Amino acid sequence: MGSTRSGLWSVGELARACGVSVRTLHHYDDIGLLSASGRTPSGHRRYGEADVRRLYRIRALQMLGIPLAGIGEALGGSGDDDLASMRSLLDRQLRHVQQHAQQIQALQDRLDDLLERLDAPVMPTPEQFMSTLEMITVFEKHFTTEQRQQLAHKREELGVERIEEAKRQWEALVNEGLLLVGAGTPVSDPAVQEWVRSWEETGSMFHSGEDTKVAARAAWQENQPTISSDLPWSSEDLAGLMAYLQKARAQ
């Protein structure tokens, strides 16, 4: 980064070097987040080394998803300009970058899977591509990177045969539940409670903790049509079944 001979940067020089707009730097100044250390005799802003370090902190914290108001509170008036605070910030930013790298790897794996599909004798239909894209969006919205890794690890532990057996069990449980709903069986009935226990046991095979269960339920509630589109039951039947299951769980 170049600077003036006095070791100070103009607002334009700092903006170009750091990849932000002049308007952004003016906004930071207006809200008291980053003020220039000095001024020229004509009143133009001049930024020093401490200002550059503070700007780095601001940009790094933005990458971590912290809003400007929160960044101002985190930095305080002085900006904690010391090695310990800088190391802590760099450590947090490194973890953020590593998480992003994991997400990129997950995307690469999905692209590899699509390429394998293209090697089949028949081209996947546009609907299959759309369904895959929708499910990717649902999955990434509701599950953190760590949770997605936990789910993948559980699938590896189970193996193909146990997963297929669990799918058959779940299909049978859905059909059994729909019969209970259709018959108007009270959720307090012992048969219903036994059905709930079997449902929970089957689902727990794929989860390592309550957090992924909660995320899965939230994903279903918000994206029921998308998730149920490839299933052999209607969206309305599944919605009624899930409502029945929730009531039965509350017993």
Taking residue 96's Cβ as centre, other Cβ atoms within 10 Å add up to: 14
For 3-22, the DSSP string reads --TTS-EEHHHHHHHHT--H
Residue type, 167: K
Q: Are residues 151 and 241 in the same domain?
A: yes
Q: Are residues 150 and 245 in the same domain?
A: yes
Q: Are residues 165 and 245 in the same domain?
A: yes
36 within 8 A of 45, measured Cβ to Cβ: yes
Among residues 239, 50, 225, which one has the least CA distance to residue 131? 225
Within a domain: residue 46? yes
pLDDT at 80: 53
Q: What is the pLDDT of residues 17-55, one digit of tens each?
A: 887 889 999 999 999 899 998 888 898 889 988 888 888
The residue with tokens 């001049």 is 46
Within a domain: residue 140? no
Whether 64 shows a pLDDT value over 80: the answer reads no
Which range of 94-98, 111-115, 153-157, 198-202 scores highest in mean pLDDT? It is 198-202
Whether 183 shows a pLDDT value over 90: the answer reads yes
From 28, 50, 81, the end of a domain falls on 81
The pLDDT of 91-119, averaged and rounded, is: 72
Q: Decide which of 64 and 54 is more confident.
A: 54
From 32, 56, 81, the end of a domain falls on 81
From 35, 61, 81, the end of a domain falls on 81
List the domain range (segments joined by +) for residue 173: 146-249
User: Which domain CATH number covers 39?
Assistant: 1.10.1660.10
pLDDT at 47: 92
Q: Are residues 150 and 76 in the same domain?
A: no
Within a domain: residue 89? no
- For residue 163, what are its two tokens? 């997963």
Q: Per the structure, how many domains does the chain have?
A: 2
HEC secondary structure over 179-242: HHHHCCCCCCCHHHHHHHHHHHHHHHCCCCCHHHHHHHHHHHHHCHHHHHCCCCCCHHHHHHHH
Within a domain: residue 183? yes
Average the pLDDT over each of 30-34, 36-40, 103-107, 185-189 and give the range with the smallest value: 103-107
Mean residue pLDDT of the chain comes to 77
Q: Are residues 166 and 76 in the same domain?
A: no
Within a domain: residue 58? yes
> Quick one: DSSP state of residue 44?
-
Helices vs. strands in the chain: H and E counts, helices first: 11, 3
54 within 8 A of 75, measured Cβ to Cβ: yes
Which residues, in sequence order, are bridge partners of residue 9? Answer: 47
Within a domain: residue 53? yes
Q: Decide which of 95 and 23 is more confident.
A: 23
Q: Are residues 155 and 245 in the same domain?
A: yes
The pLDDT of 59-80, averaged and rounded, is: 71
Within a domain: residue 162? yes
Within a domain: residue 20? yes
pLDDT at 26: 92
pLDDT at 227: 63
Average the pLDDT over each of 55-69, 109-123, 190-204 and give the range with the smallest value: 109-123
Q: Decide which of 28 and 125 is more confident.
A: 28
pLDDT at 4: 46
